[in-house]
Amino acid sequence: MLQQPAASERKGNDTMKAYERLLKYVVVRTPSDENSETVPSSQCQFDLAKILEAEMKELGLKDVHLDDQCYLYGNLPATAGYEDKPAIGFIAHMDTVADFCDHDIVPVLTENYSGEAMEIAESGLILSPEIFPHLASLKGRTLITSDGTTVLGADDKAGIAEILTMIERVQKENVPHGKLCVAFTPDEEIGTGASHFNVKEFGADYAYTMDGDTEGEIQYENFNACKACFDIKGFNVHPGSSKDAMINASLVAIEINNMLPGCETPRGTEEYEGFYHLVSMSGECASAQLNYIVRDHDKNLFEARKKTLSLIAKDLNEKWGEGTVTLTITEQYKNMAEIIAGCMHLIDNAKIACEAADVTPLVIPIRGGTDGCQLSFKGLPCPNLGTGGHAYHGPYEHITVEGMDKSVDVMMELVKLYAK
Ligand SMILES: [Zn+2]
């Protein structure tokens, strides 16, 4: 069932609902582009940034500034008498994945969702509790999906919508607060969202990214992460006369992968367990390349994984000749848990805020990373909170009106806690 946002029916003094903002933002397509060298990686992210810039000014935020790399900042100064309270920040990203995002996004609302298998609009795609068991718990809610041909973009426009709704409510409900800082960033989906973030301009002591799934999620333990690339040089001789001479780079590549523990893959691991993931491979006799990503929550085990890879390179160079295998390791992000350990009030308060908002707090280790990892190591401790969304990065993506409202309630409680 297609529905228009109810914005026009609202009376002057009512607060805009978070989902109404979401419906405005998702139709502005903002895929980031991992093949781009520019910052932001795609100019379309400015289209949304400019809308948000205007909205932030309208909401009374101060120092609203959109920089030329598409980072948007603003703040709500502390209520008189609350200037000594910690400045708390809320961050969300404006880009979406590029997959399933090549044409217009049409949000679809389904009121009073049955909690059972449902076709997404007329796409033929079935949103089924067999694949997404949490769907049953959404029974009775208003479900928001795309028309089944694109992502919805609730990742992370739901975060943006919820933050601005919180800012509006704090003011309309006269909630006393310390300084509240807001930032919207580009290029999170290509891993560079925090790279050009100006922690000083942002001005917060602590922050939360609003970029998780289910409402009530609190995330502060993530992977340590690097890329590992093996370049293999072969020695190509005519196959008819290559006895004891040819080195087939592709066969050396196979040898490398066979030296890794076969079950330590994304498919074979869960929770805190780490893995080697062969992302891509190419090869012929003369040369070959293997590209892995390596992940582990535990710092020591992560170091041990990198050591294993260097030993494989060393071993094969001894066997096939120096220079046959070159290993390049590129660090990506680190587990923020070691930083958050110094300010666990961020997690404790998030739990209290959830309970006060009648949401079950879910502290879950992330099998990935967030912009908050880099920010935490840049001096801005920054756990991640849920927005109420599910099944990101594909056409099954969905969120509920009620889940978004709950996520705003959690933020409201956090603001109150930090003003105590
Ligand atoms: Zn996201």
pLDDT reading at 257 higher than 60: yes
How does the average pLDDT of the chain come out, rounded? 95
pLDDT in tens, 21-35: 999 999 999 999 999
Q: Domain ranges in the chain?
A: 7-221+335-418, 224-333
Give the pTM. 0.89
pLDDT in tens, 12-66: 568 899 999 999 999 999 999 999 999 999 999 999 999 999 999 999 999 999 9
Q: What is the mean pLDDT of residues 82-108?
A: 96
Residue 17: predicted pLDDT: 97
**Cβ contacts of 226 within 8 Å, gap of 6 or more:** 293, 294, 302, 306, 329, 330, 331, 332
The CATH H-level superfamily of 7-221+335-418 is Zn peptidases (3.40.630.10)
Query: What is the torsion angle, in degrees rounded to the nearest 10, for the CA atoms of residue 352, residue 358, residue 359 and residue 360?
Result: 70
Taking alpha carbons only, the member of 200, 197, 121, 122 closest to residue 372 is: 197
CA distances from 182 to 6, 30, 312 (A): 26, 19, 46
Distance CA(194)–CA(191), nearest Å, equals: 8
- In percent, the amount of the chain with pLDDT more than 70 equals 97
Tell me, in angstroms, the distance from the centre of ligand 1 to residue 219's CA: 13
Tell me, in angstroms, the distance from the centre of ligand 1 to residue 375's CA: 15
pLDDT in tens, 112-169: 999 999 999 999 999 999 999 999 999 999 999 999 999 999 999 999 999 999 999 9
Tell me, in angstroms, the distance from the centre of ligand 1 to residue 156's CA: 5
pLDDT in tens, 71-90: 999 999 999 999 999 999 99
Q: Which CATH number fits domain 224-333: 3.20.20.70, 1.10.274.10, 3.30.70.360, 3.40.640.10?
A: 3.30.70.360
Phi/psi of residue 208, each to 5°? -125, 135
Tell me, in angstroms, the distance from the centre of ligand 1 to residue 4's CA: 25
Tell me, in angstroms, the distance from the centre of ligand 1 to residue 298's CA: 23
Q: Which letter does DSSP use for residue 286 in this model?
A: S
Do 7-221+335-418 and 224-333 fold alike per CATH?
Answer: no
Tell me, in angstroms, the distance from the centre of ligand 1 to residue 54's CA: 23
Between the two ends of the chain, the Cα-to-Cα distance in Å is 44
Tell me, in angstroms, the distance from the centre of ligand 1 to residue 272's CA: 21
CA distances from 409 to 49, 195, 412 (A): 25, 30, 5
pLDDT reading at 418 higher than 70: yes
Tell me, in angstroms, the distance from the centre of ligand 1 to residue 106's CA: 19
Tell me, in angstroms, the distance from the centre of ligand 1 to residue 57's CA: 24
Given a contact cutoff of 8 angstroms between Cβ atoms, the answer to whether 408 and 359 are in contact is no
Q: What is the mean pLDDT of residues 216-221?
A: 97
Tell me, in angstroms, the distance from the centre of ligand 1 to residue 96's CA: 7
DSSP one-letter string for 101-167? -SS----EEETT--SS-EE-TTSS-EE-TTT-GGGGGGTTS-EEE--SSS---HHHHHHHHHHHHHH
Residue 2: predicted pLDDT: 47
Residue 233 — pLDDT band, cuts 50, 70, 90?
very high
pLDDT reading at 3 higher than 80: no
pLDDT reading at 387 higher than 70: yes
Q: What is the mean pLDDT of residues 283-292?
A: 98
Collapsing DSSP to helix, strand or coil, 235 comes out as strand
Residue 12: predicted pLDDT: 55
Distance CA(198)–CA(66), nearest Å, equals: 12
pLDDT reading at 8 higher than 50: no
How crowded is residue 31: how many other Cβ atoms within 10 Å of its Cβ? 22
Residue 1: predicted pLDDT: 45
List beta partners, residue 31. Answer: 96
pLDDT in tens, 153-175: 999 999 999 999 999 999 999 99
Q: What is the mean pLDDT of residues 334-339?
A: 96
Q: Which residues are known catalytic residues?
A: 95, 188
Given a contact cutoff of 8 angstroms between Cβ atoms, the answer to whether 207 and 380 are in contact is yes
pLDDT reading at 254 higher than 90: yes
- In percent, the amount of the chain with pLDDT more than 90 equals 95
Tell me, in angstroms, the distance from the centre of ligand 1 to residue 11's CA: 32
* SS3 of the chain: helix, strand, coil, percent, to 5: 35, 20, 45
Tell me, in angstroms, the distance from the centre of ligand 1 to residue 236's CA: 46
Tell me, in angstroms, the distance from the centre of ligand 1 to residue 177's CA: 27
